Amino acid sequence: MGLKYIEIIKSIVLLLLVSLSVLFTFEVWNYSPNYEPMEQLQTVDISISEKKTIDEIIKPYKVITNLKDQILGSTDAEKIDRILKEMNTWDLSNLQLVRQDMNKFNIAQTLRQPSQMALYFTGEVPMLVYDNVLPVDDVNIPEATFNRLVIDWSQSTQAPVIHLLSEVSGLHYQVQVTLPNKTSFLRNVVDVGQSFDEYAEIDRGNAPFLAVPKDPITITRNTYYQEEINPLRFRDALFSDPKAVRRNQVNPTHEEYGDDHAFMNVDTEIKRLSYVMPAVESQEFALPSELLLNTIDFINEHGGWTDEFRYAYMNPYSRYVRFQLYIDGLPVFSDQPGISEITETWGEMRVFKYIRPYYSLDVNIEPVQEKLPSGVEVAGSLRESEELNFDLIEEITPGYYMIHDIERKLFILQPCWYYLIKDNWFRHTPEELQGGGVIGLE
């Protein structure tokens, strides 16, 4: 075969190879394999419990009604909620500063006035925060706080007035109320206030106004099963990258979790955890409204309200906030810090320290009615004590003493009386006046 034909054959073969290459390339570009659909990756749910609103967290623990010749009071959660629900229908306006130098004697005189109802809060409440609960038609809400809210209907021909008093700063503000329905106000505020139990004022000279139940009271002793919340859920919620967190078993009852920025200590016996991020610690004074909103938002972000916790105390100088456990409208205290409370210390733009329990109260297996002596009797016992200055007592209130039965995994809530001195709660016991320790605040 001549060279002439060989060259022609080569050209034909080359053309065929190029054509096949183009064809295969086209097929690859347009090929769509029939893969089985992939399952969508599930995101980690770090919402431990439900979020809560401001009005669920900031609530009065006691309400006192002053009539012309009678003092009535209640810690009944249902009655207090009924009053608050009615207040939410009011239109508030014309916020004015009445006085800024009120001492405890002046405030006591105000609280004694007839035809009014006083709502008691354990901690100083920023007006800018409570404006989320009772909005005031005013663009200039001050950065001020109160711990007593008084509804005054003494001027029968006019609408009620609200007084906001601070026993800490001595500020006295006043707000005008417009009632959408006066009959509803009389039914849900005045009539409810007149259904309270009889109270008596404890005379202590120039000390703060103090009114306590006149007769013995009955409170339910509760026994709850302990429902443990896996601490790994808090690890996933608090650390930015849970996979980078290292775990260390310190001893049989203590575990540590940490990364390069923060660490979390877990006490597996008493069910308490402590989270700290050292780099964000701050010594700057915090605006009360920002501090309280930041700490509430932080807990809401991971649904940390595992039981009924209420705002109880704040120190803007140390940037510290405490939320107390409540059962049936009464505060729950324990000798062990962090068991019946949630505390936060706010740092630079985020939480610096966070201490809390990681259990929740399950079924109440053994409710038993118990009778406690009257507040008047308790006050008399405290007055006779040589261990304390009775005039320093700011409050006397019923509450629960928490007993943790670790072996049976039970929480026993024992009804008892507590008294407050200089931001510290003490349990009153007839045998040993200061038995049970002190619940201290920063």
| pLDDT tens, residue by residue, 33-49 | 343 333 333 334 578 99
For the chain, give the percent of residues with pLDDT over 90.
79
Q: Is 321 found in the same domain as 235?
A: yes
**Phi/psi at 81 (5° precision):** -65, -35
Q: Environment class of residue 88 by beta-carbon count within 10 Å: exposed (0-12), middle (13-18) or buried (19+)? A: exposed
Query: Could you tell me if 44 and 236 are in contact, meaning their C-beta atoms sit under 8 angstroms apart?
Result: yes
Give the pLDDT mean for 368-373: 96
Does residue 329 surpass a pLDDT of 90? yes
Given pLDDT bands bounded at 50, 70 and 90, which one contains residue 309? very high
| pLDDT tens, residue by residue, 423-433 | 899 999 876 44
Does residue 369 surpass a pLDDT of 80? yes
CA angle, 340 then 345 then 348, to 5°: 155
Domain stop point among 213, 244, 271? 213
Question: Given this model, what pLDDT does residue 320 score?
Answer: 98
Question: Given this model, what pLDDT does residue 61 score?
Answer: 97
Distance from CA of residue 165 to its chain's centroid?
21
Query: Could you tell me if 76 and 329 are in contact, meaning their C-beta atoms sit under 8 angstroms apart?
Result: yes
Per the structure block, which two tokens stand in for 77?
Answer: 């959660």
Give the pLDDT mean for 170-188: 96
Q: Is 435 found in the same domain as 337?
A: yes
Does residue 436 surpass a pLDDT of 60? no
Q: Is 179 found in the same domain as 99?
A: yes
Domain stop point among 180, 213, 246? 213
Give the global pTM.
0.87
Give the pLDDT mean for 219-240: 96
| pLDDT tens, residue by residue, 231-245 | 999 999 999 999 999
| pLDDT tens, residue by residue, 331-357 | 999 998 899 999 999 999 999 999 999
Q: Is 302 found in the same domain as 198?
A: no
Based on the structure, what is the number of domains in the chain?
2
Domain stop point among 157, 186, 213? 213
Does residue 268 surpass a pLDDT of 90? yes
Q: Is 174 found in the same domain as 284?
A: no
Give the pLDDT mean for 120-129: 97
Query: Could you tell me if 266 and 296 are in contact, meaning their C-beta atoms sit under 8 angstroms apart?
Result: no
Residue 229 lies in a domain: yes
Q: Which comes out higher in pLDDT, residue 139 or 260?
A: 260
Question: Given this model, what pLDDT does residue 342 score?
Answer: 98
For the chain, give the percent of residues with pLDDT over 70.
87
Does residue 193 surpass a pLDDT of 60? yes
Residue 20 lies in a domain: no
Domain that holds residue 126: 54-213
What is the per-residue DSSP string for 305-355?
--S-EEEEEEETTTTEEEEEEEETTEEEE-SSTTSSEEEEEE-SSSEEEEE
Q: Is 257 found in the same domain as 151?
A: no
Q: Which comes out higher in pLDDT, residue 224 or 6?
A: 224
Q: Which of 352, 287, 289, 364 is nearest to 328 (CA)?
A: 364
